A and B are shown apart, each in its own frame.
Chain A
Amino acid sequence: MPDLLLDVQGLETTFKTPDGVVHAVNGVSFTLKEGETLGVVGESGCGKSVTMHSMLRLIPTPPGKIVAGKALFFGQDLLQMTTEEIRHVRGGQIGMIFQDPMTSLNPVLTIGKQLEEPLMLHVGMSKKQAQERAAELLSMVGIPNASERLKDYPHQYSGGMRQRVMIAMALSCSPQILIADEPTTALDVTIQAQITDLVKRLRDEIGMSIIWITHDLGVVAGLAHRVVVMYGGFIIEESEVKELYANPTHPYTIGLLGSLPRVDEKERTRLFSIEGAPPVLYNKPTACPFAPRCKWAMERCWNENPLLEPVAPEHRVACWVDTKTGRPRS
C-alpha cells in the first residue's frame, strides 16, 4: 500500500534488570496510514510506551535492547538508521509529546529558546525567523499574547499551558507523525478536554497522522480512527474504533470496558473487575499472557500463544476462545 506511513513488524524489546531479563515488547506489528489517528491502549507495564520508544530508538541501551523487528517509515527502517539519520527523523518528521509537561521542558531555558532550537536545528531557520515562527506556533496552540510569553520560563506556565507548549514544539517542524504518550493523563478533565480538542483541530488543519498512547478508553473513543489494545507486550486486539466499542472481543478488552463506570450509567451495579494483576515478564511468554486472569481460559490458552486473527472486517483478535459463545474459535 502506498499510503502506509509507518509499518512496524515483529518488534521485540528486552530490558536487563538485576532480577532477570524483562521481555517488555514481544513481537508487535502495526501500521499507520496517512491522516489516521491510532489509539494505543493498555495498562502500565503493557509495553505501549516501550514500543514507541523502541521505534524511535529512545530507549537507553543498555539495559534496553531491541532484539528483533523492523520499523519502516516511508520504506526506510528506523532501526537500521545511523544515529545522525534518526536524529533528523525525531523531532523533524516524527514529533513526540510526553506525559509530564513539567519534566519534559528544561526549567532553566525560556519557552522561546526551547521552541526555537528545533526550528534552527531541523529546518535551518535563522534566529530571527525562528523567533517569528515560535510566536506563531504559540498562538496556534491557543496561548494569548504569544510573543511576550516566549520570554517566560516553564514555571510561569500552568500545566495545561505547558502541555500546549509541548504540542507546539512537537509540531514546530511540521511532522508527518505525532506520537502522543499519555499527554493528558497529568491534567484535569476540563484541561484534558481543551487539549484533545486542540489536537483534533490541528490534525484536521495540518493533516498529520497521530499515535495516541493512553490507558483511558474514554479519551480514545472520541479521538482515534483505529485502536490497538496491548497486554503483556503483545497486541491482543486491533480494530476500527466504533467496531471495538460495539463488539469488544478479547476477554481483556471486554473486562477493561466493563470495569469502567460511565458518566451515562443508568443503574448502579457492581463493576466488572478483572481479578489478579498484570504480569511482569521475566520469560518470553509461550502461552497467552492473559490466561491467568481470564475466566474463559481453556487448556490450549496455557500452552500456546494465540496470534492476531481477523474476526470481522478491520477487526483482529489474539484469542483461542470465541468470547461470544465461550467455545474454542474454529
Chain B
Amino acid sequence: MSNNNADVLLKVEDLKMHFPIYRGVFQRQVGAVRAVDGISFDVHRGETLGLVGESGCGKSTTGRTILQLYKPTEGQIHFEGADLVTLHGEEMRRMRRKMQMIFQDPYASLNPRMTVEQIVGEPLMVHNVATGKEIEERVKHLLELVGLNPAFSTRYPHEFSGGQRQRVGVARALALQPSFIICDEPISALDVSIQAQVVNLLEELQEQFNLTYLFIAHDLSMVRHISKRVAVMYLGVIVELTDRDELYSSPLHPYTQALLSAVPIPDPLLDAQRKRTILEGDVPSPANPPSGCRFRTRCPIAQSLCAESRPEFREVKPGHFVACHLVK
C-alpha cells in the first residue's frame, strides 16, 4: 500500500476469518459466519490506528486474529518482518511478548482469585523474564506507571473500582514491554469521567514507550480523539481507511457518512444544525451477507451495480482508501 517511507510495524493482507456452522447429528458443516472477510491494512510504528464499527462487524475478531488467538482462514499477517500465520510453537511464543491486548470488560478479564501482583506478574513468569524478588519489583514499578499505589499489589480485583481494574489490565499488558498493543474497547465499560482518565493514561504511555496501538471501539468521538488514522468496518470488511481529520471532515463512503451523522454531539446548537442521515433497518447476518457490496441493503444511494460485484478497496486520494463503486 501507500506511504512506503513510513515504518510499517504490522501489515495485514487479505485476512479472512470464517467460523464454521455445524448442524445435524453428524455435525456437518452447513455454512460459515464470515466474521472477517478479506481485509488489508498497515499499522505504522508509533501510531494509533482506530478500528470502528458497530457490534458484529468483525472488529474484535480482527484484533484476536492478529494475535493468533484464532487461526485465520486465509491471509497474511506480517509483524516485524515475520508472517505470524506460519509461525508455530516457540517462535510464536517469542513473538507474543511483543504484542499484547487490553480487554473491554475489566470485571471479566482479571482472575478474581489472583492478587494484582500475581495478575501483573504472570506474563513475566510465563515468559521467564524475571523471577522471585525481581517480579515483585517490576510489578510495583508497573503499578506506579499506570497510576496505582504499589502498596495495593497484594489486593484482589474486587477491591478495585472499574477504572482501577482497567489500569491493572494496562499494567499487565505492559509487563513484557511490548511494541504493539491491541486495545479492544478498553473504555466502553467505564463511566464517562473515568474514560477520560484511562484514555489519558494510554496516551501518556504511548509517548513514553513509543507504543503502537490498534484501538478498537464503537465510540467514534473517542476514536477520533486517540487515533492518527481510522479504519471503518462494516459486516466483515473495511469500507474506508484514512487520516482521522480527513475521515471526519470528508468521509467518502456512505456508511461512514451515516455513522458520523448518527453520533450525538454534546451541544444542542450544533446538534440542531446538523443534517442527519438515518439508516433504515439492521445489519444483515454475516453468515449470509448480501451479494456485491455488503452495505447495499441499507445504502441510501445503492444502484444495481452494487449488487453485482464487490467494490474494490482502492486508494482514491493519497492515503485515503474506500470500497465503494460510486466514489470517484
| Chain A contacts to B: CB under 8 angstroms | 43-44, 158, 160-161, 188-194, 196-197, 215-219, 221-222, 241-242, 245-246, 255-265, 268, 270-275, 277-278
Contact = CB atoms under 8 A, between A and B. Distances in A.
Contact of B196 (A197, A268, A274, A278): A274
Contacts of B197: 273-275
B263 A189 contact: yes
Question: Closest 10 CB pairs between A and B?
Answer: A218-B264, A261-B225, A259-B196, A193-B262, A273-B196, A188-B54, A271-B196, A43-B191, A274-B193, A222-B271
B282 A277 contact: no
A194 B278 CA distance: 6
B266 A245 contact: yes
B55 interface: yes
A261 B193 contact: no
Contact of A189 (B191, B193, B262, B267): B262
Interface in B215-252: 218, 220-222, 224-226, 248
A264 B265 contact: yes
Contacts of B54: 188-191
A241 B268 contact: yes
Given A43-B192, A193-B276, A273 B200 contact: yes
Contacts of B261: 193
SS class of chain B's interface: helix, strand, loop or mixed? helix
B263 A218 contact: yes
A197 B278 contact: yes
A273 B260 contact: no
A33 B307 CA distance: 50
Most chain B beta-carbon contacts within 10 A, residue among A161, A193, A196, A256: A193
Contacts of B196: 258-260, 271-274
Contacts of A189: 54, 218, 220, 259, 262-263
A277 B161 contact: yes
A222 B225 contact: no
A151 to B, nearest CB: 19
A252 B212 CA distance: 33
A150 to B, nearest CB: 19
Contacts of A265: 221, 224-225
Most chain A beta-carbon contacts within 10 A, residue among B197, B226, B259: B197
B199 A256 contact: no
B18 to A, nearest CB: 22
B264 A221 contact: yes
A236 to B, nearest CB: 13
Most chain B beta-carbon contacts within 10 A, residue among A158, A270, A277: A277
Nearest to B255: A190
Given A188-B218, A193-B262, A260-B266, A160 B225 contact: no
A161 B281 CA distance: 9
Most chain A beta-carbon contacts within 10 A, residue among B193, B224, B262, B276: B193
A205 B161 CA distance: 44
A194 B161 CA distance: 33
Contact of B193 (A158, A219, A255): A255
B9 interface: no
A277 B198 CA distance: 12
B135 to A, nearest CB: 28
29 contacts: A43-B191, A189-B263, A190-B258, A190-B278, A192-B264, A193-B261, A193-B276, A193-B279, A194-B278, A197-B278, A218-B265, A218-B271, A222-B272, A242-B268, A242-B269, A245-B266, A245-B267, A258-B196, A259-B193, A259-B195, A260-B196, A261-B221, A263-B224, A271-B196, A271-B200, A272-B196, A274-B193, A277-B164, A278-B193
A262 B266 contact: yes
A263 B260 contact: yes
B270 A43 contact: no
Contacts of B199: 261, 271
A268 B260 CA distance: 18
B80 interface: no
A258 B267 CA distance: 12
A43 B54 CA distance: 23
B105 interface: no
B192 A259 contact: yes
A136 to B, nearest CB: 21
A265 B203 CA distance: 17
A82 B272 CA distance: 44
B192 to A, nearest CB: 6
Given A193-B261, A257-B266, A262-B224, 11 more contacts: A44-B191, A188-B54, A189-B262, A192-B262, A192-B264, A217-B192, A222-B265, A260-B192, A260-B266, A274-B193, A274-B197
Nearest to B262: A193
Contact of B163 (A160, A215, A241, A277): A277
Most chain A beta-carbon contacts within 10 A, residue among B191, B200, B248, B278: B191
Contacts of B282: 158, 160-161, 191
B200 A261 contact: no
Nearest to B52: A189
A270 B225 CA distance: 9
Interface string B264-295: 11111111100010110011000000000000
